[in-house]
Chains A and B, each alone.
Chain A
Amino acid sequence: MPTIVSVDDSTVPGEGSSRLLLLVSSDNKHIVVEEDIMSRSRFISKQVEGFEATSQRHAILLPFSSFVLNKVIEYCSHYRGYYLLEDDPDAAPPGRSPVREWDQEFLDVDRNMLLRIIKAAHYLEIKSLVGSCARAIADMIRGKTTEEMREILGVENDFTPEEEHSPSSKCTG
């Protein structure tokens, strides 16, 4: 029987708080979170709309671990009640997401974790978080040499020596 975890003391239901959601991570952790915290996620919002249409609420299964999910919930809790342009489905999409200092600190994690967060944010359709992660990944490799980039990103050089010395042949991949 999975344990029920409350995410954060500050999100314990209080006066005027919204309804609760049950999220289930891929490692089968059950996490209870207030609905309005997760409303930043288009994916969750659509699920909630479904609940309201059918008057049936159920757990939402997510394909990533509680470790990543908790990180995403931390992000959403931080911006609870805040308007971020990128997450506004009615606003015109901005060019590059703006720099937010808190996000930079929040995403000061290793590459593996960063990629897990961006994939989770993509799945949950949280555009502001996808943008901040993309910026953080770009910050890791900007201005680096090709060799440094391979190391940072964990990619193998799969060019043949001939391809490596003739840039044009790389076009075809």
Chain B
Amino acid sequence: MDSEGQHTLLTTPSELLFHVFTFLDVPSILALRQTCKSLSLLTHDKGVWLDQLRHQRNSLPLPSPARDDVSALALTPEELEKIVVSAHASQHAWHRPRQEVTHLGGLQADYRDIIYLTVLLDRLVLCVYSHGSVVLWNVASNSAKMRARVIHPQSYWELWGLEPWTSAVACLDNGNEAAYVAITRAQNRTQQGSATVLMRIPLDETASYEAPYLGSVNRDQTEDLTQPPPGSRNLNFNDVDTIFGPDAQVVRTIDPAQQIIAFSRTTHIDVTHWPTNTGITLDTQREDVDQLWNGIIALQFIGPYLLCIKARTLELYPISLPFSSRTSYFVSSSLGPPTPPEPQGDSHDDVPVPPRRPVALHSFPRTTFRGASISSSLPRSHCAASAAPDETATSPIVLTLLAHDVLRGVFQYRVNIVPASSTARPSSFPIPPTLHVDLIGVHNMALGVPGFVSAAAIGPQGRRGVWVERTKKVTTRRVVVFSTPACDDAPDDGDVEQPRPVTLPLQFVDAENDLSDEEEGREDGAWGLGKPINTHPVYEVKSYDLHEDLVQVAFSEVSGLIALGTRAGAVRVI
């Protein structure tokens, strides 16, 4: 083992070489693979790629099999390597200007007014129009010719009333085989009340893509789209449910696991359990902020809670099934579905709901948000090493929130929720949940040339985000992307750890109190404390009239595909 002979890597135990590999990046490992046979062999080891994957989890969005070690270990080394290499490549591609633009076609000429746009399973673009059509395109990057299918709701919904649909939301069912889509509008023109259609659309590609679907229209190519889409399919009635609610409901979010759906009406929240048609209504209005408009802009179910994002506050409400009362909002209509529920009781206005206080609340200083996008809850491992895996019931939930104030810009927050614990004490005295909100990034549009943000979205993993902005007096709409920096407290390559003496210096007892004061100060302080978001403009379009105005944006966090919806109702993918 000694000294005088040449020491090469090849005489070094492979255990040590694997250790060296942990400090290399993906391109270096691939370059090292080309040096010689024995190193090539080592670079195919599963552990090398598993280790790279664990580092990527700190900063990159990953496809679902790679997000935890249990499922990642089930992958072959080749599959694992492919995921790691493509995640690495996507890191650079995400920030690059988009050259290729695909216009999604197959639309009827009168398709206008997109009310909802999303990207599901990294390849399906789902778009809901105000006249009640749901359109689904498969934009898998490997198929040059994109395929589209057009799904209409049940025909009688088209007939029933003349009011346009006003809001929609979609999400994947558990298991990803289907998507739930909910579309809401006023019940009819003369009477109060909202109606919501809830559809479950199968996403089984092997079965559906053999059917004659419409091809997409490439770049400025127009087709006669007046024919009914041949690929349209009627959903089974079992796939559809209807929900009736009070006036002016906006559908916000669906929890397929609990089969509950949430709506907002300015400061009221309605939550309905659709299999039983039971529900609750929360009046979230609080007197101390009454003077300032504080309407609800987003809702999301988070474990046992409903997270409510308002223009000026973030609130948390407990949601516990089963609900006791039946929902009773229905105003009869001659064109309604065959067996509408009987009207029970009076409209909401006559039966005031007592104001409900949130179990936790955070106020946003100085901003009035107009839109908010929320990531799924992230595994705790993303953000701290001090997770207690055995306490699943009270393990914190971490979310990323992207909110935009039309004039002030875009604000990114990390939301930590520690659920209430009923295990440590008798259940009659549960420990209330705690809510901690940190501003982690700001794109301040109040500085410099005034600008506007028209749409913004954050990915389900909270790693990437996108928004559409324009500058005052300029016709250009700009699509801007960003990546969330790795968590501050996550171990990072750049961190310099200085060794500390075994004998620790005396700590001031007040240190913790000072910290909490600082937190309070941060609440009042300017947003200057949030780091500027590192933005990358990736696409621009001129909009001389409002037709080309980009009003909707959605994207796939893993593949980097961005879907844009124009005011005229066109959808394009960049």
Interface status of B234 (Cβ within 8 A of chain A): no
Contact across chains for B35 and A98 when beta carbons are under 8 A apart: no
Task: Tell me the nearest residue of chain B to A163, going by C-beta.
Answer: B37
Looking at A139, A146, A167, the one whose CB has the most chain B CB atoms below 10 A away is A146
Contact across chains for A64 and B502 when beta carbons are under 8 A apart: no
CB neighbours (8 Å) of B11 from chain A are 115
CB neighbours (8 Å) of A95 from chain B are 22, 54-55, 491
Interface residues on B, range: 35 or more
**Surface stretch bound by B, among A10-18, A52-60, A81-89:** A81-89
Task: Tell me the nearest residue of chain A to B34, going by C-beta.
Answer: A146
Given the interface contacts A64-B1, A170-B34, A170-B40, does A81 sit within 8 Å of B28 by beta carbon?
no
Interface status of A4 (Cβ within 8 A of chain B): no
Contact across chains for A155 and B9 when beta carbons are under 8 A apart: yes
Contact across chains for A173 and B20 when beta carbons are under 8 A apart: no
Task: Tell me the nearest residue of chain A to B32, going by C-beta.
Answer: A149
Interface status of A79 (Cβ within 8 A of chain B): yes
Task: Tell me the nearest residue of chain A to B51, going by C-beta.
Answer: A95
Contact across chains for B496 and A98 when beta carbons are under 8 A apart: yes
Given the interface contacts A63-B2, A134-B19, does A155 sit within 8 Å of B496 by beta carbon?
no
Interface residues on A, range: 35 or more
CB neighbours (8 Å) of A138 from chain B are 20-24, 28
A79 to B20, CA, bound (A): 22
A164 to B3, CA, bound (A): 33
Contact across chains for B36 and A115 when beta carbons are under 8 A apart: no
Residues of A17-50 whose CB lies within 8 A of B:
26-27
Contact across chains for B31 and A79 when beta carbons are under 8 A apart: no
CB neighbours (8 Å) of A145 from chain B are 31
A94 to B11, CA, bound (A): 26
A111 to B11, CA, bound (A): 13
**Interfacial residues, chain B to chain A (CB-CB below 8 A):** 1-3, 6-13, 15-16, 19-25, 27-28, 31-41, 44, 54-55, 491, 493-502
**Interfacial residues, chain A to chain B (CB-CB below 8 A):** 26-27, 63-65, 67-68, 79, 81-84, 94-96, 98-101, 111-112, 115-116, 118-119, 122-123, 130-131, 134-135, 137-139, 141-146, 149-150, 153-159, 164, 167, 170-171, 173
Known contacts A63-B1, A95-B55, A134-B20; 4 further A-B pairs (Cβ under 8 A): A83-B499, A99-B494, A137-B23, A141-B24
A-B residue pairs in contact (CB < 8 Å), sample of 12: A96-B22, A99-B497, A111-B7, A115-B12, A116-B3, A134-B20, A134-B23, A138-B28, A141-B32, A142-B25, A150-B35, A170-B34
